[in-house]
Structure 1
Amino acid sequence: MHVLLVEDDALVASGIRAGLATFDFVVDGVATMAEARRAMDTVHSDVVIVDRGLPDGDGLTLVEEWRAAGRQTPVLILTARDAVRDRVDGLSSGADDYLVKPFDLDELVARLYALLRRAAGRASGILHHGPLSLDPAARQVAVNGEDVVLSRRELVLLEAFLYAPHSVLSAGQLKDSLYGLNDDVESNALNVHIHHLRRKLGNGVIETVRGLGYRLGRAEAVAVPGAAGDPPPGQVSP
């Protein structure tokens, strides 16, 4: 899943990026409001983390702008301001959650998953789709209780579909969930990852919507691990 991090403290930003990477989050970081505005127009983010004290203004202004423009991306405010009034102002601006520095990485991750879950209209922490289950925190996938081994990017791709089970996701959205803005991406990388998911979870687990992108297939399409799929379109690095 893609996280846009708006944080001007380089040390804090580096720690967040490294910590979230261990949970397979793809993080792109910016340090100013101006850069955040450009990033929101450039990349599809699943959740945004915003610091309040930015060099060119209050991060709450960004949240208010995005909400006024109709952007519904979940936003978590991350700041050292811990007064009740500050928390109320943050949530009233349109932010979905508020976390005070210093913070524990496990709490930040738990809050991000909660935001993603709410945005997807899911109540459980475990993502289910028929016999398929994915535990985001443990990074584990199973079919009918049998563990399925996925690569890191295969798991992230599956997670993106499970968090948006009724949506058609464009190739651009999916690539943003898998790669950062500065990553070198081979042209067939997405097709390869989708092929591997189909091979491991059933050929119909992901449906192609011609001209638009891809969507999660019917729950009945999930097959036992090892089901055959289409011939591999090529190879890419994991």
Structure 2
Amino acid sequence: MSPDPADRARPLCVALLEDDDVLRERILVPGLRRHGLDVRPLRTAAALTALLAQAPVDLVILDIGLPDSDGFTVTQTLQAAHPHLGVVILSGRGEPPDRLRGLSGGADAYLVKPVEIDILAATVFSLARRLARGPQRAEAGWQLQPDGWCLFAPNGQSTALTGSERHVLRLLWAQPGQLVSREAILGALPGRAHDESGSDPHRLDVLLHRLRRKVLTRTGLPLPLDAVRGEGYVLRPAG
């Protein structure tokens, strides 16, 4: 995967190799797209090979059981032919020997079904950042991915964001240490994202309460966001 900064302007392209049509099309694809990912749904290893021959892909998410191959073999093939491609195995087989075989064969992460979509998305974002940066040391403080779809804590843990959360954090991130009014935050929620908070300021409090709880759960650290009663919020990401 290229670390060219120009690539940050486009969404991460993820090939999703899953033969369960219902799981793929009704849960995984819409869930990952909700987090801003460009998802290419596939059912067979042959389809993945064809895709990689004609289009750039950043990462591959794949199951172990496939109609024309198995995920372990596909992972090893990808490792040999595309060593810079990120690979996440998503399987119902969670026994230690399976995990060991997958990771030893070249997978960068091994997740067991069922998995929460935001955990899967956060894994993808974290892996993409690690691959793009290589062995460089992580920055200090909190980091928001350039496109705003993932938040990284100082300890390196990540939280994938929904559309509403993304709009709010991007606005707050542009004004670190400054009070951002409730009206300005509500005004930053366009289209469907606005429906999640509506015009009711109390629903904004609910959105941010849930975001704080999610960040704490995912990273183990509290989001450095302070509420100023009746006025707005202040984000202090540095340090």
Report if TM-score (shorter chain) is over 0.5.
Answer: yes
Write the distance in 1 (CA, Å) between the matches of 2:80 and 2:94: 26
Write the distance in 1 (CA, Å) between the matches of 2:112 and 2:76: 20
SS in 1 for 2:49: helix
What are the Cα deviations for residues 169-201 of structure 1, in whole angstroms up to 9, with x where unaligned? xxxxxxxxxxxxxxxxxxxxxxxxxxxxxxxxx
Write the distance in 2 (CA, Å) between the matches of 1:40 and 1:33: 11
Identity, in percent, stands at 35
Q: CA deviation at 1:28?
A: 0.7
User: Corresponding residue for 2:115?
Assistant: 103
Write the distance in 2 (CA, Å) between the matches of 1:27 and 1:17: 6
Among 18, 23, 41, the alignment partner of 1:7 is 18
Write the distance in 2 (CA, Å) between the matches of 1:118 and 1:106: 18
1:1-238 to structure 2, matched below 5 A, reads 1-14=12-25, 15-121=27-133, 123=138, 126-127=143-144, 134=148, 136=150, 137=161, 138-139=165-166, 140-141=169-170, 142-145=173-176
Write the distance in 1 (CA, Å) between the matches of 2:110 and 2:31: 19
8 A contact 1:49–1:75 mirrored in 2: yes
Q: CA deviation at 1:13?
A: 0.5
Write the distance in 1 (CA, Å) between the matches of 2:15 and 2:82: 18
SS in 2 for 1:53: coil
User: Corresponding residue for 2:215?
Assistant: none
Write the distance in 1 (CA, Å) between the matches of 2:39 and 2:132: 20
Are residues 134 and 23 of structure 1, via their aligned partners in 2, closer, same or farther at CA, if it must alter by over 3 Å?
A: closer
**Amino acid aligned to 2:174:** V
Say which structure is richer in helix. Answer: 2
8 A contact 1:77–1:95 mirrored in 2: yes
SS in 2 for 1:77: strand
Q: Mark the runs of 5 or more structure 2 residues left unpaired by the alignment.
A: 1-11, 151-160, 192-239
Q: CA deviation at 1:101?
A: 0.8
**Amino acid aligned to 2:116:** D
What are the Cα deviations for residues 6-38 of structure 1, in whole angstroms up to 9, with x where unaligned? 001001101100101111111111101111111
Q: CA deviation at 1:120?
A: 2.2
**Amino acid aligned to 1:7:** E
8 A contact 2:35–2:149 mirrored in 1: no
Q: Mark the runs of 5 or more structure 1 residues left unpaired by the alignment.
A: 153-238
SS in 2 for 1:75: strand
**TM-score normalised by the chain length of structure 1:** 0.56
Are residues 7 and 38 of structure 1, via their aligned partners in 2, closer, same or farther at CA, if it must alter by over 3 Å?
A: same
Are residues 144 and 17 of structure 1, via their aligned partners in 2, closer, same or farther at CA, if it must alter by over 3 Å?
A: same
Are residues 106 and 30 of structure 1, via their aligned partners in 2, closer, same or farther at CA, if it must alter by over 3 Å?
A: same
Q: CA deviation at 1:134?
A: 4.0
Q: CA deviation at 1:104?
A: 1.2
RMSD after superposition:
2.7
Q: CA deviation at 1:128?
A: 6.9
